[in-house]
Structure 1
Amino acid sequence: MGLLQEILPFIIAYWPLVLFSAVTAYLLSNKYNKGLNKYPGHWLAAYTDWWRFFDALGRKTEYTHIRLHRKYGDIVRLGPNVLSFADPRAIKIIYGLNKGMTKSDFYPVQQAVSNGQRLPSLFSTTDEDYHAKYRRCVNSAFAMSSLVSYEPLVDSTTNFFLERTQQLFADTGRSCNFNQWLQFFAFDVIGELTWSKRLGFVEKNEDVDGIVGFLGRFLSYAGPIGQFPLLDLLLEKNPLRLQLQKWGISQTVFPVTAFAQSRSQERSAEMAKIASDGLTAQDPNRGIDLLTKFTQAQHAHPSFMTSKQVLTSCVSMVFAGSETTAISLSTVFYYLLKHPRCYAKLMAELDGAVRDGVIVDRANGAVSWAESQKLPYLDAVVQESFRIHPAAGLILERVVPKQGIDILGERIPGGTIVGCNAWVLHRRPEVFGEDVDVFRPERWLEASPERVKEMRATMFQFGAGARTCIGKNISLLEIYKLVPSFLRRFEIQLEDPAKEWETHNAWFVRQLNFNTKFRARRVNMSV
């Protein structure tokens, strides 16, 4: 107490000097934190996470990371405690099984909230044990073998989408905000897959309940705030705010959560029976939706898979299942339109496949999953689209275990946040060729089997390891069905061929101002 009485007058008298000294000491401790000062990067990144926060606010972080790695090499410092790795060999170390790596605090920022409680999903939880138990409960619902049961559900929305495109745009000559129209499609597919019910986006050609708008705003919040997660505890996840919700004083609920609750409530009696008695025989021509499968998991694992987990799983489908698929679909169509040679080559493959009986010549131009898997140039176009514009535009952060780990010959101290950015990995010249900034699907067909294997191992659009995107197969089902079906049914033109689209990195790099016009093809006559 006496010492404090002696120091306090000095602090009061010289507070500017004391404040300056404290800030200087803090910044220097950040710069030399764990010896990470030996790794290059933007000079401000060594001192404060505010640098990466403001870079994320600029919405072009993917290009920042590409520039930094091209300038400084395979390891770049993005923050006082953050390292980004560009060498594909780092993928297995950072994201591999049994490496002891955990997700960083970036991910809980993206947790939805209901009644004052966080809803930790497979994607957003940082608890690896919780994740493993959760994944075991729902893994079968997302297995490749389940695609057969989902295809009728995807067909229903795809066929309706083709008809609405004809009515709203092809028949009228109206311009289409194609990136938004594809997002409406992706939302309705998720509705059909999750609840066996389209949500009305395509039918009404509007943002139902403002969900698309909310999701865009939420991701725009999560991207920058995730660079400085403490801010989330002061804003959206403020403990006082959550407690008021638990007490019922504040009724704030995430719109996506309310949306999922409303859809699920419509079938609450049916789901209560499945949770109690298990799943009975279903119509094989209809397909089993995800709500049913999640509830069946609740029946099979009642001690873990609670009603809260079922709701969380449905919310996750809306959060992640629509945005990433819509981004990938927009990328495929945009780059085809920007590269007429590729567009013509793919159309020749589709028409030839119909002529040769590989694709059934259906009246509406629809293509099945099995048929799409026999089209090598389509596959090359999709893979090249994933490569040139992956959905995620930030590093997928992991925390090094306390004992530290060796990455690319460097001993990385425990507690350091490390990760890779797909935009950087997908532009490795030694893997993909010197023309990595060019959209060229032929690279996937010209490469040797060994090189193709290396290219596919470097692809990071769905993540890697145990935390690979669980909805990957569903997204692939949508993309490989809609792209050829839409191209067979319609000719697509850019409204302004000279105009480039805009991109907005809100954690997922979505596209803006992708405006097109459609003209119906005479499907049966095209061959």
Structure 2
Amino acid sequence: MLLNDVLPFLVKYWPLVLSSLVVAFFVNNKYWKGLNKYPGHWLAGYTNWWRFWDVWGRKHEWTTIRLHRQHGDIVRLGPNVLSFADPKAIKVIYGLNKGMTKSDFYPVQNAVAKGRRLESLFSTTNEDFHAKYRRCVNNAFAMSSLVHYEPLVNSTLGVFLDRTEAEFATSGKSCDFGRWLQYFAFDVIGDLTWSKRLGFVEEKRDVDGIITFIGNFLSYAGPIGQMPVLDLFLEKNPISLFAQRIGLSNFVFPVTLFAQKRSNERAGEIQKIKTYGLPEKDSSRGVDLLSKFALAAHDHPEFMTDTQILASCNSMVFAGSETTAISLSSVFYFLLKHPRVYAKLMRELDNAVADGIIESRLNRTVSWSEAQKLPYLDAVIQESFRLHPAPGLILERIVPKQGMDILGNFIPGGTIVGCNAWALHRRPEVFGVDVDTFRPERWIEARPEKQKEMKATMFQFGAGARTCIGKNVSLLEVYKLVPSFLRRFEIELEHPDREWKTHNAWFVRQTEFNTIFRPREVAP
């Protein structure tokens, strides 16, 4: 009876009913959970489409900085999303045993194999799965493992320096330095993961188009991650995935295919490690990550399956090259833009050689242990990390259902919260009033307690239990390549008056960073 009365009304007044529902939807978004008390862009409270389009604009890191400087420590980025810029929020949001979980932003970045998502340490939202996974592979990425990886990095480093001299330094040709550093980072990942350079540097090309693919995929994942439901209609369409599972589609995710090709070349060896453990190897060469992943499968066969080994290799391809190349580009760019700093660092390197701190090798490379004895090098690298951290979006976490207090504010359960490294790294009370200035001396002049505070605020690798597991590997590459390259070559910008361009595709990569190299004379 009621339906007979209501249905004609809905039919007759459907435009009014529809518009009322739309208005109610947006008003509900605005006042949902009382989050309307937090300021932000006026559209952010009504719809996630605002942050989708802002992230699509590729400058979201500057939007976040501007909003926090305008509105304070807590800014609303979406109907259910809050960004925190106070460094004290790091321990609350990312600390151990806080009950926080990753949001649906992360599964958007899952690779796919045979129609099934490959959960990685980075992308999984299941904390129990992450804890088990991390226990299996944690030893492979520990700081103590660096000594085993340095010979692998040395292999690529020597080739990279020689190719730089042959291709650019002796010819005077301009170099797309950002791209060239990506080639280096990819070949290092090949050496570290499969004990085999992949040919990026030697062939001076994007092998299998994988760098282009990853760049395009991250450009997709950044904005789509703001509204993850869109991924179910696009890349992770359930119908498409089902077709792959039953064999109607033979599509293979390019990164997965890339990793599979390299791993299949050593299938027999890996099967032996899974069965019998890791044999004695020539320690001067180092033990690669694929071998360590296979050893984890030997030690934890109930969890570390072939799928997880492949997912681990995928993660190395996805994140291990992009972020390191961004960090390396930042160090060199800021040095070139600040000749005083460049000259001061070169004096430190030359003095270290003269004093015997750095061994005078023919190829002028610098070891990890030697680099740790160079305070100004460390200051330059830290300052570059500070001004241009690789991640350009908030690292999203979901507040547990009971809600929690974050810096004196009760945040309802289910709210997405997070911090953005670009905003944290520009806190004047932590880093000084000149936070927008590249000044490495701040890391040397600071008192021990201030240095501790500064380092605790640095967020380029994340924080807490989900800190980037490849952090130590990335640091190994950066601290070895930067001084080695500077000792071997003089560098200058092709167009000193131009600024580079940045592209926030979740990681903030750089373009139009063109340089000229010359062989550097040995300092007297």
TM-score by length of 1: 0.99
Q: Structure 1 residue 32 and structure 2 residue 31: aligned?
A: yes
Q: Structure 1 residue 451 and structure 2 residue 466: aligned?
A: no
1:229 to partner: Cα distance:
0.2
| Residue pairs, 1:99-118, within 5 angstroms | 99-118=98-117
Cα distance in structure 2, aligned partners of 1:17 and 1:322: 54
SS in 1 for 2:43: helix
Cα distance in structure 2, aligned partners of 1:430 and 1:201: 43
Q: Structure 1 residue 471 and structure 2 residue 474: aligned?
A: no
| Residue pairs, 1:127-526, within 5 angstroms | 127-522=126-521, 525-526=522-523
Query: Can you list the C-alpha shifts for 1:201-231, whole angstroms capped at 9, x where unaligned?
Result: 0011110000000000000000000000000
Cα distance in structure 2, aligned partners of 1:272 and 1:393: 40
Cα distance in structure 1, aligned partners of 2:65 and 2:10: 46
Query: Can you list the C-alpha shifts for 1:262-314, whole angstroms capped at 9, x where unaligned?
Result: 00000000001111111111111110000000000000000000000000000
1:365 to partner: Cα distance:
1.1
Query: Can you list the C-alpha shifts for 1:333-384, whole angstroms capped at 9, x where unaligned?
Result: 0000000000000000000000000001111110000000000000000000
1:70 to partner: Cα distance:
0.2
> % of aligned pairs identical?
73
SS in 1 for 2:44: helix
Cα distance in structure 2, aligned partners of 1:168 and 1:6: 81
Cα distance in structure 2, aligned partners of 1:85 and 1:380: 26
Q: Structure 1 residue 83 and structure 2 residue 89: aligned?
A: no
Cα distance in structure 2, aligned partners of 1:521 and 1:317: 33
SS in 1 for 2:516: strand
1:6 to partner: Cα distance:
2.4
Residue 95 of structure 1 corresponds to which residue in structure 2?
A: 94
Cα distance in structure 2, aligned partners of 1:169 and 1:439: 28
1:171 to partner: Cα distance:
1.1
Amino acid corresponding to residue 440 of structure 1 in structure 2: R
1:5 to partner: Cα distance:
3.1
1:16 to partner: Cα distance:
1.3
Cα distance in structure 1, aligned partners of 2:361 and 2:288: 25
Cα distance in structure 2, aligned partners of 1:432 and 1:397: 24
1:11 to partner: Cα distance:
1.7
Cα distance in structure 1, aligned partners of 2:340 and 2:246: 61
SS in 1 for 2:97: coil
Amino acid corresponding to residue 450 of structure 2 in structure 1: R
1:389 to partner: Cα distance:
0.2
Extract unaligned runs of 5+ from structure 1: none
Amino acid corresponding to residue 238 of structure 1 in structure 2: N
Cα distance in structure 2, aligned partners of 1:91 and 1:491: 40
Amino acid corresponding to residue 189 of structure 2 in structure 1: I
1:395 to partner: Cα distance:
0.1
SS in 2 for 1:510: strand
SS in 2 for 1:245: helix
1:132 to partner: Cα distance:
0.0
Cα distance in structure 2, aligned partners of 1:27 and 1:253: 39
SS in 2 for 1:211: helix
- Over the aligned positions, Cα root-mean-square deviation in angstroms equals 0.6
Cα distance in structure 2, aligned partners of 1:426 and 1:284: 39
SS in 2 for 1:45: coil
SS in 1 for 2:83: strand
1:20 to partner: Cα distance:
0.7
Residue 60 of structure 2 corresponds to which residue in structure 1?
A: 61
SS in 1 for 2:112: strand
Cα distance in structure 2, aligned partners of 1:273 and 1:459: 42
Cα distance in structure 2, aligned partners of 1:219 and 1:4: 49
1:4 to partner: Cα distance:
2.6
1:154 to partner: Cα distance:
0.2
SS in 2 for 1:113: strand
Cα distance in structure 2, aligned partners of 1:57 and 1:4: 45
SS in 2 for 1:310: helix
1:3 to partner: Cα distance:
2.5
Residue 16 of structure 1 corresponds to which residue in structure 2?
A: 15
Cα distance in structure 2, aligned partners of 1:5 and 1:137: 62
SS in 2 for 1:44: coil
Amino acid corresponding to residue 446 of structure 1 in structure 2: E
Cα distance in structure 1, aligned partners of 2:3 and 2:367: 77
TM-score by length of 2: 1.00
Cα distance in structure 2, aligned partners of 1:446 and 1:252: 55
1:82 to partner: Cα distance:
0.3
1:512 to partner: Cα distance:
0.4
Number of residue-to-residue matches in the alignment: 524
Cα distance in structure 2, aligned partners of 1:428 and 1:159: 39
